[in-house]
Amino acid sequence: MLAPLQQPTSAVSWMAERGTMAGDANDEHDKARRFRDAALPHLDDVYALARYLMRNAADAEDTVQECYLRALRHFDSYRGPAMKPWLLAILRNVCNAEFARRGRQETELADDEEAEATPPIWQEPQASPETALLRQQDGDTIRRLVAALPQPFREAIVMREINDLSYNEIAEVAGVPVGTVMSRLARARAMLRSAWTVAEGAAP
Amino acid sequence: MNCADAEIMLHALIDGELDAGHARDVEAHVATCPACAAELKTFRAMRATMAAANLKEAAPAHLRSRIEAALAVPAARVSAPRPSWFASMRESWKNFFGGFAVGTALSAAVAASLVIAVVRNDQNQQIASDIVSAHLRSLQAGHLTDVETSDQHTVKPWFNGKLDVAPPVIDLTAQGFTLIGGRLDYINGQPVASIVYHRRKHVINLFVGEPLGAAVHGVKNETVQGFNIRHWSEGGLDLWAVSDIDAGELDEFGQKFTAALHAPGPS
């Protein structure tokens, strides 16, 4: 007597029962599945980069979701071989678009030549042997220091240290030559070291 | 090589991005330059500290489910008739209640049982989607098995002490389904055994646990997000096989599992 309360038959088996399974619906379905299998394993990486680009959890979640939907739409044109940089490049575009939409003053993700030219706001590191003894900082402090880096350096260091991309892959995602990646990483680490030293002084 | 070049290139050295020739050049410079040697040491230490600090924050579970749901949209889009299903359900509810319009105790009881039926259905849907999520999670690198072996006598005792039940572990290699290991998983907040099989390149997760949700009579097949699920019970335990192989093959798997379970002789 409770027949009407039975679970709705799933879309696919319903279509199959009706014999109206359209070929393209099937393809779509298959594509979505292949995409999930290929792309979902990188969710943590995509989210990690989004956290550092957007700097807050809610925005990160929205951009990650948009990234996956966009990636699914363009999955047909994906030619490999590496899924992770492909997804990260899409994420970066989504974040870019989001910042453009908000019309932020700080053109966050633009390849900011200025940021590269401006002298660092950090104190220049003194290359003395005692700086070799950086104190072990906890994860939260390091995250905060990385998050405070100017955008081009922040994304380079995150893609290298957290997403574990090669220089070539970072160059591809950021759309800059490999040499630029190398110098950005050098700058990023130098800034990080200075900030680190300062944080050390401030630590109890 | 001078210090200015080395300052940049020692990062590429640390990152393992230099070819042998350049790596030798940087190392040669560092060997004769205490300042650059100190830099190299500092940045190596920094890199190690960052690696150890585990800076990668995992995506929250609700985001994962949100995205999994969003990606299932192409499948959902073809389910256009759903509103009519809904309408017909509402219609029959109306008729149903119409018959009991005079507030008798019976109608209250019937209403209560309807609520239970609805809640249970929701719960079943929840379980089905949990099963698909667990299956998807298992396909990600390094998540598939906690104990990896094709030996059923290794897999079975592995679950001892991890679960309140002893799941049946059967090697079906001869029947075309290769046992590759086991894993502890959670469905609807309850621990379940997952016994993992391969069919060609495809993975089958067989979840075994104490009954969850409504009792299953016979075999129940469904498709969720493109994955087939076969749900049945054996000896008071519930079993859900889930895979992307087609429903017919999954059914074959279930039948062979049941046949092997009840086959006489050593198991």
DSSP per position, A74-101 = TGGG---S-HHHHHHHHHHHHHHHHHHH
Residue B138's pLDDT band (boundaries 50, 70, 90)? Answer: confident
Judged against a pLDDT cut of 70, whether residue B5 lies above it is answered with: yes
**Would you tell me which residues 154-183 of chain A have a C-beta closer than 8 angstroms to some C-beta of chain B?**
160-162, 166-167, 182-183
Question: Which residues sit opposite B13 in a β-bridge?
Answer: none
Residues of A in contact with B92 (CB under 8 A): 4
Whether B240 and B230 have beta carbons less than 8 Å apart is answered as yes
Of B84 and A27, the structure prediction assigns the larger pLDDT to A27
Please give the sequence-ordered ranges of beta strands (E in DSSP) within chain B, or none if there are none: 147-148, 178-187, 190-199, 202-209, 220-224, 227-234, 237-243
- For residues B97-134, one letter each, b for 16 or more C-beta atoms within 10 angstroms of the residue's C-beta and e for the rest, the string is eeeeeeeeeeeeebeeebeeeeeebeebeebbbbbbbb
Contact across the interface for A134 and B12, Cβ inside 8 Å: no
Question: Mean pLDDT across the stretch A186-194?
Answer: 93
Q: How high is the pLDDT of residue B121?
A: 53
Residue A177 class from Cβ within 10 Å (0-12 exposed, 13-18 middle, 19+ buried)?
Answer: exposed
pLDDT band at B73 (very low <50, low <70, confident <90, very high): low
Is the separation of the CB atoms in B214 and B242 below 8 Å?
no
Report pLDDT digits (tens) over B77-87.
433 333 444 44
Q: Name beta bridge partners: B238.
A: B209, B233
Across the range B161-189, mean pLDDT stands at: 86
Residue of chain B whose alpha carbon sits nearest to that of A139 = B53
Is A127 in CB contact (< 8 Å) with chain B?
A: yes
Task: Select from A10, A68, A183 the Cβ nearest to the Cβ of B70.
Answer: A68
Which of A129-133, B106-110, B186-190, B253-257 has maximum average pLDDT?
B253-257
Out of B55, B76, B136, whose CB is closest to A162?
B55
What pLDDT, on the 0 to 100 scale, is given for residue A77?
Answer: 82
Please tell me the predicted confidence (pLDDT) of residue A3: 39
Question: Domains of chain A (ranges plus CATH)?
Answer: 25-102 (1.10.1740.10), 113-202 (1.10.10.10)
pLDDT attached to residue B57: 82
Do A114 and A100 form a contact (C-beta atoms < 8 A)? no
Alpha-helical segments (H) within chain A: 11-18, 23-39, 43-54, 57-73, 83-102, 113-117, 139-147, 151-157, 167-174, 178-202
Alpha carbons B28 and B255: distance in angstroms, whole number: 68
The whole-angstrom separation of Cα A75 and Cα B46 is 38
Q: How confident is the model at residue B235 (pLDDT cuts 50, 70, 90)?
A: confident
What is residue A73's predicted lDDT score, i.e. its pLDDT? 87
Residue with the larger pLDDT of the pair A170 and B143: A170
B50 contacts A142? CB cut-off 8 A? yes
Q: Which domains does chain B have, with CATH numbers?
A: 3-52 (no CATH), 62-72+103-262 (3.30.200.100)
Cβ neighbours of B68 in A, within 8 Å = 36, 40
Structure tokens at A5: 């309360």
**Residue of B197 and A133 predicted with greater confidence:** B197
pTM as predicted: 0.52
Q: Is the pLDDT of residue A46 over 90?
A: yes
Q: Are A146 and A158 in contact (CB under 8 A)?
A: yes
Lowest mean pLDDT among A18-32, A115-129, B57-71: A115-129
| Contact (CB, 8 A) for B130 and B188 | yes
CA distance A74 to A54: 23
CB contact under 8 A, A32 and B74: yes
pLDDT tens digit string along A56-79?
A: 899 999 999 999 999 998 888 887
The tens digit of pLDDT for each residue in B236-251 reads 889 999 998 888 999 9
C-alpha B225/C-alpha A10 separation (Å) is: 9
Q: How far is CA B245 from the centre of its chain?
A: 16
According to the model, what pLDDT value does residue A190 have?
93
CB of A75 within 8 Å of any CB in chain B? Answer: no
Say if the Cβ atoms of A134 and B45 lie within 8 Å. yes
